[in-house]
Chains A and B, each alone.
Chain A
């Protein structure tokens, strides 16, 4: 790899791990994924024998359920990505950064590499932990999943990747909007508000649009078996990757054109 890109990555890595907001964001991500996962799994175990729960049992997927904490944790992942760039604009330190690294595209690549690599590692560790803890809670009462079942290992691996991709999506949104508050609103809208709005549309439209929403792409990525309403995990991963790529490229072009 280009030695100059390596030094930019080294610099961004130092910046990434030496601010409290990164540490807080990552801690929140871990606590939410594990904590909410544990609460959901304990609740399911406690109410497994409740009368009338037969229908729930038919659709029960111990893998996805143990990763349920990601529904909230994904906002922490996005926030980590967003703050990586918006904090530089908020504080004005972007000017110091660009004096040292005037090549904007190289800077974005370095930030992307640092975020993607760090969050892949942290994401995989936390989703494997959430899965393992969830199955341990279920054991004895509730059906459990294991890695020798079809699609389970892949589903857990993709859950970790989903976390990393959302973080980079956050970086791209931050590059475009440059303010933390505005970026978090847009990120939350994409993941949380858009599905609610789409829900108001007629079914004929709704089903076509729903599968393209980032949260449903995530569900498709970390479901062990394909579902009728979502893309297959492979297509879902590619669609999400292309969203991330578009947002990062647009953010980079805007950064190159705008005054810092």
Chain B
């Protein structure tokens, strides 16, 4: 169990994360979603004991990272695939890691084989492509067969085949009962690869839930078509917003299909269509983080 407990981290005058508080559960893939600069990497660094929190703490099975006796056997992480000494071979890199946590060297060859870089195990990692480095990083994360896995932006630099491989890989790790925590700034990626999503923006917690819950909680609109749309419109006083799309179509915000249908029936209005418009996860994300994008796209007013 990975727990982030009222965590804050301040760098000089920047509050990188602000009172984050959440749990990441085993058995599912949990996406950690936020725009660039929202504090995802900082949170992961604090979890890994690399950066000291200003307030609060992050715990792994109840312990802070620094107190773990054999950390690689409890947590595997891929934070930055290029954080390697380029002069060292892949096998020696993993052997040094294995030795530090008393993991047998046979395991090194097993994980190299598993991620598909056994053939270049004796090559210096300085010559590796980003994709190969990612695979080596994953091999390092799996070395101690840990119950908790952290990946920071793992799909960056992977080709489409690699992305598909890694998605299935996350699923299989979760199905083995492990805790899988994956950060991304890409909503579309999280929508397909995560079960649960934690959304942050500007270092603050925004929302959490399953992909379905997040979409459902978004402000839904209902498309209504009727010959008497004018009359119906005047009756929809309880709606938050009614937009006239054309002569016979309305877009209603803030009322369920049931409520609109019953209202129409009670007033003898025939409906030709009554369709809930599901917000895409992408729209939900944009909506949720709209205020929290640090370097957002403004619409500059061009001087004429």
- Asked if A7 CB lies within 8 Å of chain B CBs, one says yes
**Are A102's CB and B102's CB within 8 A?**
no
* B80-98 interface bits toward A, Cβ cutoff 8 Å, 1 = contact, 0 = none: 1011111111001001110
Stretch of A11-19, A32-40, A149-157, A175-183 that contacts chain B: A11-19
State the majority secondary structure of interface residues on A.
helix
* A93-111 interface bits toward B, Cβ cutoff 8 Å, 1 = contact, 0 = none: 1111011111100000000
List the count of A-B residue pairs having beta carbons below 8 Å apart. 89
- Asked if A47 CB lies within 8 Å of chain B CBs, one says no
**Are A96's CB and B140's CB within 8 A?**
yes
Q: How far is the CA of A7 from the CA of B98 in the complex (A)?
A: 9
Contacts of A157-195 to chain B: CB distance below 8 A: none
**Given A18-B88, A100-B72, A11:B97 Cβ within 8 A:** yes
**Are B95's CB and A14's CB within 8 A?**
yes
Stretch of B48-56, B235-243, B286-294 that contacts chain A: B48-56
**Given A15-B96, A99-B71, A102-B68, A21:B87 Cβ within 8 A:** yes
For A15, A20, A99, A103, the residue with the greatest tally of chain B CB atoms inside 10 Å of its CB is: A99
A259 — nearest CB in chain B belongs to which residue? B51
**Are B83's CB and A91's CB within 8 A?**
yes
**Are A92's CB and B69's CB within 8 A?**
no
**Are A102's CB and B71's CB within 8 A?**
yes
**Are A10's CB and B50's CB within 8 A?**
no
Number of residues from A at the complex interface, CB < 8 A: 30
Chain A neighbourhood of B151, CB < 8 A: none
- Asked if A4 CB lies within 8 Å of chain B CBs, one says yes
**Given A99-B71, A102-B49, A11:B99 Cβ within 8 A:** yes
Nearest CB in chain A: distance from B56 CB, A: 16
Nearest CB in chain B: distance from A102 CB, A: 4
- Asked if A61 CB lies within 8 Å of chain B CBs, one says no
B70 — nearest CB in chain A belongs to which residue? A4
**Are A91's CB and B86's CB within 8 A?**
yes
Q: How far is the CA of A102 from the CA of B69 in the complex (A)?
A: 9
Question: Chain B: interface residue count, which band?
Answer: 20 to 34
- Asked if B77 CB lies within 8 Å of chain A CBs, one says yes
Cβ 8 A contact of A88, one of B11, B49, B85:
B85
**Are A20's CB and B140's CB within 8 A?**
no
B51 — nearest CB in chain A belongs to which residue? A259
**Are B92's CB and A14's CB within 8 A?**
yes
Chain A neighbourhood of B175, CB < 8 A: none
**Are B96's CB and A18's CB within 8 A?**
yes
- Asked if A228 CB lies within 8 Å of chain B CBs, one says no
A96 — nearest CB in chain B belongs to which residue? B83
- Asked if B275 CB lies within 8 Å of chain A CBs, one says no
Chain A neighbourhood of B87, CB < 8 A: 18-21
Q: How far is the CA of A12 from the CA of B140 in the complex (A)?
A: 16
**Are B84's CB and A96's CB within 8 A?**
yes
A98 — nearest CB in chain B belongs to which residue? B50
B interface residues (Cβ-Cβ under 8 A, vs A): 11, 45, 48-52, 65-66, 68-69, 71-72, 75, 77, 79-80, 82-89, 92, 95-97, 99-102, 140
Q: A100-B71, A102-B65, A259-B11 are in contact. List 12 more A-B contacts (CB 8 A).
A: A11-B96, A14-B96, A18-B89, A87-B85, A92-B83, A92-B84, A93-B83, A96-B84, A99-B72, A100-B72, A259-B51, A260-B50
**Could you give 12 example pairs across A and B, Cβ below 8 Å?**
A7-B99, A7-B102, A11-B97, A14-B99, A18-B89, A92-B80, A92-B84, A98-B50, A99-B49, A99-B71, A99-B77, A259-B50
List the 8 closest A-B pairs by CB distance, nearest first. Answer: A92-B83, A11-B100, A259-B51, A18-B92, A11-B99, A14-B96, A260-B50, A10-B99
A interface residues (Cβ-Cβ under 8 A, vs B): 3-4, 7-8, 10-12, 14-15, 18-21, 87-88, 91-96, 98-103, 257, 259-260
